[in-house]
Amino acid sequence: MRDSVLAALAAALLWTALSLLILPEERPAADRASVPAKREETEAEIPVRTEAVPTEEQDFDPAYSLAVLTPDGVQTMDLHSYLTGVLLAEMPVSFGEEALKAQAVACRTYTLERCRNSRHAEAAVCTDSHCCQAWTAPADATPDARKQAEAAVSATDGLVLLYQGALIDATFFSCSGGRTEDAAAVWGSDLPYLKAVASPGEDAERFSNELRVPLEDFRAVLETLDGEIRFSGDPGTWLESVQYTAGGGVASMRLCGRVFRGTVLRKAFSLRSTVFTLSLNREEAVFASRGNGHRVGMSQYGAAAMAQAGNDYETILKWYYRGVELSRADTLFAPS
């Protein structure tokens, strides 16, 4: 009897000792769930930086911090909050779920590329759309718009676009007018993934525009651009020839024997795009343009049209960015 009792006690002690040696990941799920997480201590230990710090239990975007230059100064925010604000500022939520997802991936790629090659000494990006990307505080949006933007960011968490293993410059714009443009035609640098492609179904008529410039003002602008230009004869003869880009934009115009690049004329006369025509008479110069923006990369109205036609966000992205692959950002931004 005594021996059997001792044996039972010994077995119990042995089982207790073995159970204490079980590693946490080997415990049943109920045991893991009952262990309280030290959330405050963990968050306090995460430094504010522009590096990815995801763990196996975290999504990428909420765990990535970056400095953002706003009109109120530099603010540090997580990537999820930043991208939600970018979507709210850059694309109408009415464009549809798949278009919003495509925009989220493009914006995430653009942002992380800027984090590695920032234009600002004190921040990774700014909220000026002419420099980086537009941004609005999510709290300032309507609850429905905020919900849709957040959903698009969450659904694509951590996804970026790569070309030959490197982040692309995921540029985007409003409306192409029917066809996008080669990067080389606009910025002079050839990027194999930023090529001219058809962009059907856009609401291009919304961005058709006519600009009338008094002839004397037209002459003054051209003289500022090229001091050697000389005007003579009927203004209807001043435009001698036009060269076009692969995307259908004006590559150059020859006026009174002088050549002007389409991008230069667009900027000088504040035209909406380089897809324009020019006619001249004795009173004025008339520009008729289509599209809106630099027309390189993803057309937002084109993405909306593709989404409405039943295409998913990956199809949209791979149409506008040629030869790219979708990948997880944490393969490039590993914890240090």
* Residue 139 belongs to a domain: yes
- Looking at the structure, tell me whether residues 273 and 304 fall in a common domain: no
Predicted local confidence at residue 336, as pLDDT: 40
Q: How many other CB atoms are there within 10 angstroms of residue 169's CB atom?
A: 20
- Tell me, yes or no, whether 162 and 241 share the same domain: no
Q: In this structure, are 132 and 148 located in the same domain? A: yes
The answer to whether residue 75 sits within a structural domain is yes
Whole-number pLDDT of residue 48: 30
For all residues of the chain together, what is the average pLDDT?
85
The answer to the question of residue 239 being in a domain is yes
Nearest to 112, CA basis, from 45, 163, 43, 61: 61
Please check whether residues 260 and 320 belong to one and the same domain: no
pLDDT of residue 204: 59
Exposure b/e, 182-198, CB count within 10 A at least 16 = b? bbbbbbeeebebbbbbe
Which range has the worst mean pLDDT, 50-64, 190-204, 267-281?
50-64
- pLDDT score at 202: 85
- pLDDT value of position 100: 98
Q: Judge if 301 and 166 occupy the same domain.
A: yes
Note down the domain range covering 71. Answer: 60-170+297-331
Per-residue pLDDT at 73 exceeds 80: yes
Give 134 or 33, the one with higher predicted confidence: 134
Q: Strands of 73-78's sheet, edge to edge?
A: 73-78, 65-70, 125-126
Q: Are residues 163 and 308 in the same domain?
A: yes
Which of 28-37, 121-130, 305-314 is predicted least confidently?
28-37
> So what's the pLDDT on residue 213?
98
Tell me the pLDDT tens digit for each residue of 232-249.
999 999 999 999 999 999
| Structural domain ending residue among the three candidates 273, 289, 305 | 289
Answer whether residue 50 is part of any domain. Answer: no
**Does 260 lie in the same domain as 214?**
yes
* Residue 7 counted as domain residue: no
Whether residue 317 is found in the same domain as residue 231: no
Identify the band that residue 217 occupies on the pLDDT scale cut at 50, 70 and 90: very high
Would you call 109 exposed, middle or buried from its count of C-beta atoms within 10 A (0-12, 13-18, 19+)? buried
Do 257 and 303 share a domain, yes or no?
no
Q: What pLDDT, on the 0 to 100 scale, is given for residue 162?
A: 98
Residue 40 in domain:
no
Within this chain, do residues 79 and 105 fall inside the same structural domain, yes or no? yes
Whether 260 has a pLDDT exceeding 50, the answer reads: yes
Looking at the structure, do residues 285 and 301 belong to the same domain, yes or no?
no
CA 325 to chain CA centroid, nearest Å? 15
What does the pLDDT look like over 167-212, one tens digit per residue? Answer: 999 999 999 989 999 999 999 999 999 999 999 888 756 789 999 9
Residue 104 falls within a domain, yes or no?
yes
Q: What is the mean pLDDT of residues 205-222?
A: 93
One domain for residues 136 and 165: yes
For residue 96, being part of any structural domain is answered with yes
Backbone angles phi, psi at 184, to 5 degrees: -65, -30
The total domain count for the chain is 2
Domain boundary among 289, 306, 323: 289
pLDDT of residue 277: 98
Higher-confidence position of 23 and 317? 317
Taking the C-alpha atoms of residue 287 and residue 319, their distance in angstroms, rounded to an integer, is 30
**Contact, 307 vs 96, CB < 8 A?**
yes
